[in-house]
Amino acid sequence: MTSRIDRLLGARLADPPEGLRRGPFREGAFPSPLHSERRAARVGLWLGLAFLVCFLTGVISDLIQSGPSWFYWPSSPVWLYGFTQGLHVATGLAAIPLLLVKLWTVYPLLFEWPPAGSLARLVGRLSILVLVGTAAMQLVTGLINIAQWYPFGFFFPTAHYWTGWIAIGAIAVHIGAKAPEIRRGLARRGSPAATAGLVPEQVEELRAAEAAAEEGAIDRRTFVLASGLGVAAVTVTTLGQSVTPLAPVSVLAPRLPHAGPQDLPVNKTAEAAQVQESATDPGYRLVVDGPRRLELSLADLMARPQHTETLPITCVEGWSASGRWTGVRLADLLEEAGLSRDARVVVESLQTGGLFRSSVVAPPHAADPRTLLALQLEGAPLDLDHGYPVRLIAPNRPGVMQTKWLALVRPA
């Protein structure tokens, strides 16, 4: 049945109408040697690696924020999440020019005739639509997210996560379907592997294309140089949000270190969280729920032993900045309330709504002496936008889990 469908499909599409032989459908419409199997395979290799890095680091971030209880994420080193998430965002941004270059190298294939000479080829071409669509969605929505602009109606983290799985699956299918072409494209020019699977006529066409490419060597080098400079420019002008020494040249970075109250960026303000009144209420109390329930005023917290730690705030949008925090150790309060110092606990904010009004503090972070209920930043009381009167600050956690305006600590 399949072979019959293939024959019928091929017979109907083999001879296009005369009008379709003009324009981009005519033979030789794309003479540039840069539209080659070799160039497409080599650009595709880098693009595929970029997507793999983005996928793995994205899965790590999702597991930290909403993964199962068995997932273990250490509290040391304190910079690890900053590295993985900074790499995620930087690689995603670098993948944008790579995707454009890849599409440029292969877009003449859109005008091949017949468009689908067999059922297998038709399915293959439809799968490319999935690949290109998911790749474009991941990069475009990721770029919009780091700018904190949400014109779409869906919840970005969930959509980004599941589309990532579809994209990486589509890449795997594409690699499997195009394995012979990819092997030839990555093989050393002139080697037997570079012509494997080709009939003599195709070998001659390939050699002619390589000869044309040699004649256009300057264009080829310019293409590679321009592509590399494009990727480098995007990376350098945005990476300063994660790598502080690059901040002066990172003119396109959405957030930079030391840009905000008390020299630290802010994503969600007290006004946006609607906590101005509750956070400044003289009757404020922090409740630690345990066998010995604690209800602590700000003065009670200040009267307890204070500790100072230098820890980063690392946001899922890719920026990272360190601050000097002072406050009470979470483990000390847990013990005072009759809980284990390494108990799994939930911290809740004064916010009355929002997906990130609470977070789970896993045992490695609860027991870590660097995990503080911070009262001060850089030697001064917390700014209201940084979580006054009390916020959580723990090593090696996403910024959305460093809960601000704390109201309650309870067993998970």
pLDDT at 9: 38
Grade residue 338 by pLDDT with cuts at 50, 70 and 90: very high
pLDDT for position 4:
45
Judged by average pLDDT, the poorest of 172-176, 204-208, 299-303 is 204-208
Would you say residue 10 has pLDDT above 50? no
Range 348-371 average pLDDT? 94
- The pLDDT score that the predictor gives to residue 33 is 75
Least confident of 26-35, 254-263, 268-277: 26-35
Question: What would the mean pLDDT of 239-245 be, rounded to a whole number?
Answer: 82
Q: How far apart are CA 213 and CA 89, in angstroms?
A: 35
**Interval 49-70 mean pLDDT:** 94
DSSP state of 383: P
- pLDDT of 199 > 70? The answer is no
Provide the pLDDT for residue 292: 97
Q: Tell me which residue of 349, 376, 373, 398 sits closest to 262, measured CA to CA.
A: 376
Average pLDDT over residues 201-230: 70
Res 251: pLDDT: 80
The count of other CB atoms within 10 Å of the CB of residue 298 is 16
Segment 22-41, tens digit of pLDDT: 667 777 777 777 788 888 99
0.75 exceeded by the pTM? yes
pLDDT at residue number 13? 43
Rounded distance between C-alpha atoms, residue 318 and residue 84, angstroms? 9
At residue 14, the pLDDT reads 47
**Across 226-231, average pLDDT:** 90
Q: Which residues of 215-239 are buried (b: 16+ CB within 10 A; e: fewer)?
A: ebeeebeebeeebeebbeebbbebb
Average the pLDDT over 53-60 and give the result: 96
Share of the chain above pLDDT 70, in %: 87
**Which band of pLDDT confidence, cut at 50, 70 and 90, is reported for residue 159?**
very high
Cα torsion through 382, 388, 392, 394, rounded to 10:
-20
What is the average pLDDT value for the chain, to the nearest integer? 87
Give 349's strand partners. 406
Whole-angstrom distance, CA of residue 28 vs CA of residue 32: 9
Taking only the tens place, the pLDDT of each residue in 123-158 is 777 888 999 999 999 999 999 999 888 888 889 999
Residue 179 has φ and ψ, to the nearest 5°, of: -55, -45
Helix (H) or strand (E) holding 44: helix 37-66
Q: Which of 49-58, 219-228, 265-274, 324-333 has the lowest mean pLDDT?
A: 219-228
Let me know how many helices (H) and strands (E) the chain has, helices first.
13, 10
